[in-house]
Amino acid sequence: QVQLVQSGGGLVQAGGSLSLSCAASGRDFRIASMSWYLQAPGKTRDLVASIGSGGSTTYANSVKGRFTISRDNAKNTVYLRMNSLIPEDTAVYYCSVDYLGARYWGQGTQVTVSS
């Protein structure tokens, strides 16, 4: 059974930082691409950042230079470090794993940035 368990997030003032983590279990996710998405109220779920099995990363333009995605393959865990947060970053953040064509999702974590 695949499980993605998220932790972190919360409330922070603009300019502050938060970290998210997502621990995956049930498969050997070393070969999987791992990602973070966000979904603001009334909007679609959009890609924030992704990291391939070899460590290559991609970022949405809106977070480049502020967010950093990383992974620890020994722990099957993906991280998102968010710096210089702005109110527009407020959303529910979801981790996701693409494993052999199947996509799995975490439970979601609220991130709220106050102005």
* Beta carbons of 111 and 90 less than 8 angstroms apart: yes
Q: What is the pLDDT of residues 3-24, one digit of tens each?
A: 999 999 999 999 999 999 999 9
Per-residue pLDDT, 110:
98
Report the distance separating Cα 4 and Cα 60, nearest Å.
22
Q: Are 22 and 72 in contact (CB under 8 A)?
A: no
Rounded to the nearest 5 degrees, what angle is found at the Cα of 84, between the Cα atoms of 9 and 98?
50
**Which residues, including other chains, have CB under 8 Å from residue 72's CB and lie 6 or more apart?**
79
φ/ψ (deg, to 5) at 2: -85, 135
Exposure class string for 21-31: b at 16+ Cβ within 10 A, else e: bbbbeebebee
The number of residues making up the chain comes to 115
What digits encode the pLDDT tens for the residues 33-77? 999 999 999 999 999 999 999 999 999 999 999 999 999 999 999
Mean residue pLDDT across the chain: 96
pLDDT-based confidence at 30, cuts 50/70/90?
confident
